Amino acid sequence: MDDESDMSDHEIYGEQVGLNTPLLDESGPGSKQDANFAHMIASVEQAIAEDILPEMILQGSSGSYFCRNTSNEIVGVFKPKNEEPYGHLNPKWGKWIQKHFCCWCYGRDCLPQNQGYLSEAGASLVDQALGLNIVPKTKVVRLVSSSFHYSRFDRARARAVQSASRRFPETVGKHLRQGLPPKIGSFQVFVRGFKDASEVLRSLNFDELQPETQDSLTRQFQHMVVLDYLTRNTDRGNDNWLLRFTPADEDGNGESIQLAAIDNGLSFPKKHPDNWRAYPYYWAWLYLARFRFRDDIVEKLLPQLRDETFIEGLCERLYLLFKQDYGFSRSVFEKKKALNLTKALEQRLSPAELVRLPPITVELSRRRRRGSSTSSEGASRYTQVVADRRPFFQWI
């Protein structure tokens, strides 16, 4: 993106989304979290200036990086837009081969191209708005580091600019002296002491946990179900959410468990994934999915999901977030709203029963008024669409 160099290197995109809406009280803890997040980004930039560079994460199919602060502690994970699985600067060859030779079988055409970084931030926004508290704080930022994957042209230009800045330090702007263009992407706060859910669940016997720990795990798991269903994230394998289990001491006190929902880059598809492969909610096969939705979750979330003002405000915040991308399409965005969850909460269904219901989406259509030049001036109308198409490869 050519306009990226016009922005401050540590500018946090979308700050106005979180601070200027009634869904977030500026005097409450939300604004403090945003201030702490901005301070963290500044510390990461200072660390990069001191040659404490982000390190690429070997796992996964995209270019993602552990970022450290000036104390050399990992504080976040940065995922650049142009290093996503199908980004033109993806440093991992697996997705390039898949895109060009196997896309007929394995590609996800239900996802907008290279907008996973916005999906990561959008899932965090929904998590905060509903008070689920399971997604580590995630925002869209710009960072520059020589450890990121750049093209040969960018690196050659960077060397030329750095040479010029040394020869003419007063004439080259501060934002150009690093030479490399800033990368826009998602930055998620790093959570410590957590392990893959698959590893923790294998070592735990649910029935042997203390009742308070069982309730806590069930509540957080159902929060994740709500998040995934609202954002239509069907990529929640047991390696895409984390658990931190603290065993009880000798006196039987101190047992606790915490859940963190990470890797939300495949949220907010433009349609239900039903073209080639079946993408099920993998948590539906877990033992925890058999429990009916808890009363406290129903009492907390059902009024919010029934409140049209709240839903419209949340959708507007998501719109402001997603429209930052130059590939944004409002017509595609208005197909991102899912339904069915309210029915499951009202009837006290279990997550396993929820996924058996036919997927229903709510699409917003605008009728242009006579004499108006844009469709946004017309009346809005919501239409329910049932996704009953079966994918070709149901066994994959």
Would you say residue 156 lies in a domain?
no
Is residue 294 assigned to a domain? Answer: yes
Please tell me the predicted confidence (pLDDT) of residue 348.
92
Please indicate, yes or no, if residue 347 is contained in any of the structural domains. Answer: yes
Q: Is the pLDDT score of 45 beyond 80?
A: yes
Asked if residue 21 has pLDDT above 80, the reply is no
Bridge partners of 12, per DSSP, are 141
Q: How many domains does the chain have?
A: 1
| Length of the chain, in residues | 396
Highest mean pLDDT among 69-78, 276-285, 312-321: 69-78
Express as a percent the part of the chain with pLDDT over 70. 69
Indicate whether 163 belongs to any domain: no
- Does some domain include residue 13? yes
Residue 88 lies in a domain: yes
53 inside domain: yes
The mean pLDDT of 186-206, rounded to a whole number, is: 94
Q: Is the pLDDT of residue 354 over 60?
A: yes
Write down the mean pLDDT value for the chain.
78
pTM, rounded to two decimals: 0.80
Residue 378 lies in a domain: yes
State the residue range of the domain holding 133: 2-145+180-386
